[in-house]
Structure 1
Amino acid sequence: MLKLKRLLIENSGPIEFLEIPFDYTEHNLPKPLVLVGENGSGKTTTLSFIVDSLLQLASTKFKDVLAPSDGGLGTLFYRLRSHDVRIGASSSVAHVRYDLNGRQIDYLDRIGQESNLEQLRQRLGLPPEFPMDFTKNNEKLLTQNNHQIDSELRDGAYVFFPSGRREIPHWLQVGALHPERYTNNQVFSNKVNKSLVVETAAADTANWIMDGLLDKQLGYADAGIEVANKILQVILEDSTAHFAVAPRNVWPRVQIYTGVQAVHLKVTNPRRLAIPSLGHLSAGQSMLLSMFGTLANHGTLTNRKSLQEIEGIAIIDEVEVYLHTHLQRSVLPTLIKLFPKVQFVISTHSPSFLMGMKDKFGADGFRILDMPSGAPIDVDQFSEIGAAVDALRETTAFRTQVKNEIAQENDRPILIVEGRSDALLIEGLWRSSMNDSTPFRILIAKGRRALRYLLEDEEFINEVGINQRVLGLFDFDEAFDDWSGCHRSYPNKEGDETTGLLRKHTSKQIFTGLLPLPMTRVRQAGERFGANSTFTIELYLPDEVLMAGDNLENVTFPGDFQVVKFKGDKIAFAKRISAERAFHSHFDNLLSLIRNVLQV
C-alpha cells in the first residue's frame, strides 16, 4: 500500500512553514485529513504538491500519465513552478514522503539557490543516494528505485478531484452552446488505464455500472454492481436503492429503483422506478456518485474487492462543491467512512461537513489543520462555525425588526447601512446641513452579510410598500462581493463609481448601492479592484484631516502598492465630524446619492 507519511512546505505561496505528519489509527488505517482556512491561505497549494508528487511517480512507470515535453525529452510538470516563492524569500522547498510497503519514497521540489544542500538533505531526512545537484537552482526529484509502484497504482484508487469538477445535467443540450475555445480532454490516462485527475466522470461511472449489471446478469458472484449499489444507497439514504438496466431509448442505459422485488408474497415496500436515468440525479447526487464511484471503479479494475478493501489516496479540493448542507453533514462523511483504507486529504470551507465528520469519525478519528500555519484545531474552533452562528442569530433578529418597522409605516423611505458609525455620521451630517431631522428612517444591519441577507429576503421584499423607496448602502471594500452578489434579485445596474453604483430590484423601489468614490480615492477602490477595494465612509475626508486626528494608517501591499485605511474609534469619529460644518462638503456626493435614490 502506498501511504502518505509526511509533507513539508517552506516559503511557497502564502505558506512560510508547514509540516504535516499523516496520522493512522491503531489498526494502521489512515485518518482523513481536512484543511481549512480563508481563501488564499494555501489549502490548494498544499494539495497541489501531493498531486504533483503522485503524477511524477506515476509518470516514471506509465508513459502518458503526463504529456511529453515540446523537446520530446521527459514530460511536462503537472504543477507549474513560476511565482511559487513566497514574497520576501529567495527559495522554496516542498517535500512529500511516502511509505510503499515499508520502503521510503521521497519527492522534492525546490526553487532558488540553497546555501547548503547537505544541510537540506539532513533536515529533510533524505538518504545519501537521493540525487541533488548543487549547480542547479531548480529541481524536481524522486527516489530512483520505485519498485512495485506500477502495481500499486494499477490496483488502488489514486485520484485528485479538483474544485472545478462538474457533471452535465440531463436537460442541457450541449450542441446549443457556442463551441468552447479550449479543450478539457483528460491526458492523465494511458497504460495505467484510469485518470489520476478527474474533473468529470459521469460517462466512466455509467460504463462501470453497466459492466457491473452485465456481470450480475451473467451470474458472476463478485459482480461489481453490489459495490455500486452500496454507494447509491448512502447517497439516496435508502437501503433498497439499486441500479437496473434501462430501456433502449434511455441513455445512459441505467435506471434507479427503490423498494423490494415481490416474488410470491405482498411486500410493504414494492419495487418502483425512482429515478429514470443517471442524468436525472441532482447535481449534488451526481457529483457524489461520480467521485466515490470513481474510487470504487479504480480500486476494483484489476481485482474484485469490497469497498473496505480498496486502498489508495483521494485528494479532494473544496469537497462541498454542489452539495446541500444535509449532503455535506450526513451523506459525505458516511461515504468517506465506506473506504477505511483510502487516505483522504481534503480542503473545505463547510462547517456542516466538519460537524458531520465529527459525528461519524469522532473527534480523534480525523484531523483538521488551520491554514496556512497547519495548526491542529477541533471542529468547535473552526472560525466559520462561530461566524455562521453569529450571522444567523444577528440577521434573524435584525430581519424581524426591519419587517416589523416596515409593516408599521410602509411608505416612509428607508436607508439601511452596515454599522452604527455609518448611521451616526449620515444622520449628523443631514441634521447639521439641513437643520432638520432626516425625512427617512436609518436602520443598522450589523455588518455587510446581515445587510445582504436582508436585501435578498423575500419576506422583507414583500413587506416593502409598492411606492416605498429603500436603499441598502454598502462600503466600497470587501462588501463589493455582497453588493454584486445581489444581482439575481437586483439585476438592473445604474450609476457609476463617483455618483454611486446601484442595483435596482426587479419590481420594487429597493436599491442596493456602494458608497460613491471621491476622485482622491480611486487608486484604492473601484470595480476593477472588486472585493480588494478599501474605501469606507471615513475616507471621504482628506489625508491631512485624518492625520491630524491620528486616524490614518498606511498599508503596503505586494509590489509596494500603498493604500490608506481609517484607524481609531469610528463612533467617536462620526460624532465629532458630523458636528463640524467645515467638513460637510467632502460628503456631498454621498448625500446626493441618498437624496436621489430616496427622493427626499
Structure 2
Amino acid sequence: MYVTKLILTNLGPVENAVIQPLFHEDGRPKPIILVGRNGSGKSLALSVIVDAMLESQKKLWEKIPELEHNQFLRLMTGRYIKSGSDYSLTEVSFGDKTIGFSQVEFVSSMKRKDFLLKYPGFAIDGTVLNEEDSDRDRFFKDFKAYGETKPELMKDIYLYFPYFRYESPSWLNDVVAPELDVKSHITGVSAHRTIQTGIVGEINRWLLDLVLDREIYEKQIVALPLEGADVKLNVHIPGKYIGPNATTVSLIQSILTEILSSKDSSIQNVRFGISKKGSRSIAVHAIRNGIDTQEVPGLSQMSSGELMILSLFCTIIRFFDIRNGRPPETLEEIRGVVLVDEIDLHLHIGLQKDLLPKIISMFPNVQFIISNHSPFFNMGMAEKNGDDLSIVDMPRGIPIDATSFSEFQTGYDAFIGVDQQYKLGYEKILKKLNGASRPLIITEGKTDWMHFKAALSVLKSEGLFESLDIDFLEYGEEIEMGDARLASMCKHFADVPQGRSTIFVFDRDNPQIIKDMAGDQASKHKKWSKDVASMCIPIPPHRTQYTNVSVEFLYTDDEIRTVDAKSGKRLFFDNEIEEYGLPKKRKDKLRILKQADQDEEFTKKIFDTQCERIKDENGVAVAHSKTVFATNILNKEEPFKEFSRDHFKEVFAVWENILSK
C-alpha cells in the first residue's frame, strides 16, 4: 500500500498543505520530493507519515521494536499549532477504503465547548465534533483500517530514514526506543524496525553474514572427469553460487556497480570478497576489461557518502527479506513506502544529481517520499523522471514544475568542470613529484613556467644561478590552474610529506592570494612544511605602482609590445583596447585606442581573451596571445631572445634561499 493522501492544517509553519501523490497508469508510484527552507515543515510532514506507519504495525503485531502499544511516536502538543491558530489537524491515507488505512490527528489549544462555539459544525474526516466526546477534548488520534490489510502489510516494506543520527527530534516521544534491536524471531513480535538509525554498522554486519553464508552453503562444486593412461579421476572445482544469499548479493552488487562506476567509468562490474582472518570484513573487487582487482579492502574504506547510499538501499533489500522470508528475485519485486529525510546529507553534488536518481529508479515499485535541500538532486530527479515526479514546495504544499531547477545546470556544470580541472592538475603534479627528485616549480599560469625556464637558461649561460637545479611543471591548455586552485593544491601537498621540495609561484594580482601565499617582506616566501613553500612574484623596480603584476611584467612595456616579425602581431595591454558596438546593441567589437588610457596605467593587465578580435583600421588581426608570446621567448625566436632577464634574478634568488634551508 502506498500513501495516497497527506493533509496538513495549521501544523508548525504549514497553514494548509494538501499533498496528493501521483501514480503511473500501471499503479507504480512516482517519487515525491519535499523542498523548502529549514523550518518549512518537511520533517514534520514525514513524521506524520511515519507515525501512521507505526500505528499500522501495532495493529499487525503484539509488539514492535519502536514503542509499546499504549504509546505514540509523535507527541501531541500545542507547540506545533501554527502561530495565531487555535488547532492543528493532520490526515494521512494509505491505499483506499477497500484495502487501506488512515490516521487523523487533532490538537486544539481550546476546550471542546469553546472550540465548537467558535467553529460550529467542525468535522474531521466526515465526522462532526461534539461536546460529549470528553475523552477527546483537546487532542485525539484516530486510526482506521479498511478491508483485509494484513496480507499487504506483511509483505510490503515501510521504512523511515531520519535526519538524526545521534540525537532525537523534538517531536519524538522520549520513552520510545527507535534504536531497539530485536534479536530473536518470536511469534507476535515484529523483527522489522521501521525507523532506521545506525544503518552503516548494521548493514556491514549483514553483508558479511550474506557473503559468508553464500560461500559456505551455496557454492556449487563441479566434477570434471580427468582421464590418464591408466586411471580415471574426477577433479572438483568451484562453480556458480546458487541460493537466496547469492541472489541478494547479486542485487547488492548491481547497486554497488552503479556507485563505483559513477566516479570511474572504466569499472564494468563489482563483486564482494572476504578479507583475511583477524579483521574479517567485506572487500570490494572491481572488474575492468575483464581484469579483477581489489578496489577497497573493506567497506569502511569507501567514502562516507558512498557508504551511506549503499547502506540505505541495502536496508530496503534486507527488510523485504525480513518481511517475506526470502530475498527478492529482482529489485522490481520490492513494494512499499520509504521516507528519507535530508537525502542529500554527506553527498557530493555529483552523487546527488546523477547517482541517487539512478539508484532510486532501480526500485520502481517503492514510493519514495524524500525531503531535500539540494537543487542538484531535484535537477537530477527531473532529468531522470521527466514529468513522472512530484516536487512539493513547503510550507505551502504546492507542486513545483521540475523546470524550476534548470537554472542550476549552469552552476552544476561549472562546479563539476572546476572539480575535474583540480583533479587533472593534482594528478599531473603527483606524477611529476613521483618521477624525479629535483625541486619542482609549479606556476599559476600555463605560460608562466616558459618565462622562468627561458630566463633561467639565459642567466645560467652567463654564469648565474648555476646551482639552481630544478624542474618545472610544464602544462598547457589541458589544465586550467588559476590562483585559487593552485593555493588549494599548495595547502594539500603541505599536509602530506613529499620527500621532494616544491615551490608554488603566484602572480601578484589578487590581494587575498598575496596575503595567504606571499610570506613576509624579508624572505619573500612562505614556508608551509619542510618540503612545500609558496611565493608571489616580487615587484620589479619599474613596476612599484602597479597592482596587477604577472610574470610578463618582469619585462619592460616595450619588450611586451614587441612585434612578431613572422606574423606581424604583438601583445596588447587591456588599456590599449576599447570595446564598442552599435547603439543599443551589445559591445561585441574591439578597436585599438590611438593612445593608451593613462587612468588605467597602474591597474592594466595583458589582454588575452579572443585576441583575434583585435584588428587594425584595415580589418587585419594584429594581436597574439600570451601563449604565442611565451613560446617565442622559450624557443629563442628573434627578437624575443634579446629581452633582458634582470628582473627574474630576484625570483631565482628567492628560490635559492628556499632550497638552501
Distance in 1 separating the partners of 2:413 and 2:296: 39
Q: Percent identity?
A: 26
Question: How many angstroms does 1:17 deviate by?
Answer: 0.3
1:411-450 alignment runs, 5 A limit: none
Aligned mates of 2:326, 2:96 — CA distance in 1: 19
Q: For 2:398, give the aligned amino acid.
A: A
Distance 1:120 1:33, change over 3 A: same
* C-alpha distance in 2 between matches for 1:211 and 1:117: 61
In 2, Cα distance between the equivalents of 1:332 and 1:390? 17
The match for 1:87 among 83, 89, 99 is 83
What 5-or-longer segments of structure 2 have no aligned partner?
167-174, 184-188, 219-241, 262-266, 419-443, 446-483, 492-505, 522-533, 536-661
Deviation at 1:235, TM superposition (A): 1.3
SS at match of 1:321: coil
Instruction: Give the one of 193, 198, 206 matched to 1:200.
Output: 198
Between the aligned partners of 2:139 and 2:126, the Cα distance in structure 1 is: 20
* Distance in 2 between residues matched to 1:165 and 1:32, nearest whole Å: 24
Kept in 2: contact 1:66–1:77 (CA 8 A): no
Name the counterpart of 2:138: 137
Question: 8 Å contact 1:320–1:328 — kept in the other structure?
Answer: yes
2:274 is aligned, of 233, 245, 260, to 245
Aligned amino acid, residue 136 of structure 1: D
Q: Is the CA contact 1:156–1:300 (under 8 Å) kept in the aligned structure 2? A: no
Q: Distance in 2 between matches of 1:383 and 1:138?
A: 44
2:309 to 284, 288, 293: 288
Listed as ranges, the matches of 1:200-279 within 5 Å are: 200-217=198-215, 218-219=217-218, 220-223=242-245, 224-237=248-261, 238-251=267-280, 253-259=281-287, 268-279=289-300
Matched AA of 2:381: M
* 1:372 CA drift (Å): 0.9
Q: 1:101-157, CA deviations, whole angstroms, 9 ceiling, x for partnerless residues?
A: 942411011101553696423xx45799xx9878521001100567434x5444332
SS at match of 2:104: strand
What residue number does 2:344 align with?
320
Within the candidate set 392, 395, 401, 1:372 is matched to 395
Contact 1:205 1:293 in 2 (8 A): yes
- Partners of 1:146 and 1:189 in 2: how far apart? 29
Tell me the amino acid that sits aligned with residue 278 of structure 1: L
Rounded to whole Å, the distance in 2 between the matches of 1:374 and 1:387 is 28
What is the distance in 1 between the residues matched to 2:135 and 2:410?
49
Structure 2 SS opposite 1:228 = helix
Larger radius of gyration: 2
| Alignment match, 2:318 | 297
Counterpart of 2:272, as a letter, is F
Change over 3 Å in CA distance of 1:280–1:184 after alignment to 2: farther
User: Quick check: 1:108 aligned with 2:109?
Assistant: no
CA–CA separation in structure 1 for the residues paired with 2:88 and 2:39: 18
- CA deviations on 1:316-336 (whole Å, 9 max, x unpaired) are 111110001111111101110
Structure-2 residue corresponding to 1:449: none
Q: How many equivalent residue pairs?
A: 384
Aligned position for 1:42: 41
Partner of 1:329: 353
Output aligned runs, 1:565-580, within 5 Å: none
2:350 pairs with 1:351: no
Where in structure 2 are the equivalents of 1:25-36 lying within 5 Å? Answer: 25-36=24-35
Give the letter for the 1:163 counterpart: Y
Q: CA RMSD in A?
A: 4.0
For residue 309 of structure 1, the aligned residue among 324, 330, 333 is 333
Q: Distance in 1 between matches of 2:86 and 2:408?
A: 37
Match of residue 157 from structure 1: 157
Shift in CA distance, 274/79, structure 1 to aligned 2, threshold 3 Å: farther
Conserved 8 A contact 2:76-2:107: no
Closer, same or farther: CA 104–76 of 1 in aligned 2, 3 Å: closer
Change over 3 Å in CA distance of 1:145–1:117 after alignment to 2: farther
- CA shift in 2, pair 1:188/1:29, >3 Å: farther
Contact 2:287 2:293 in 1 (8 A): yes
Deviation at 1:346, TM superposition (A): 0.5
TM-superposed CA distance for 1:183, in Å, is 12
Q: Is the 8 A contact 2:392 2:398 kept in 1?
A: yes
Give per-residue Cα distances to partners, 1:452-488, cap 9 Å, x unaligned.
99x99988543335469xxxxxxxxxxxxxxxxxxxx
Find the counterpart in structure 2 of residue 186 from structure 1.
Answer: 179
Judging changes above 3 Å, is the alpha-carbon distance between structure 1 residues 55 and 390 closer, same or farther for their aligned structure 2 residues?
Answer: same
TM-score, with normalisation over the residues of structure 2? 0.52
* Residue 45 of structure 1: how far off its partner (Å): 1.2
Give the TM-score, by structure 1 length. Answer: 0.57
C-alpha distance in structure 1 between counterparts of 2:97 and 2:350, whole Å:
38
- 1:462 aligns to 2:513 (yes or no): yes
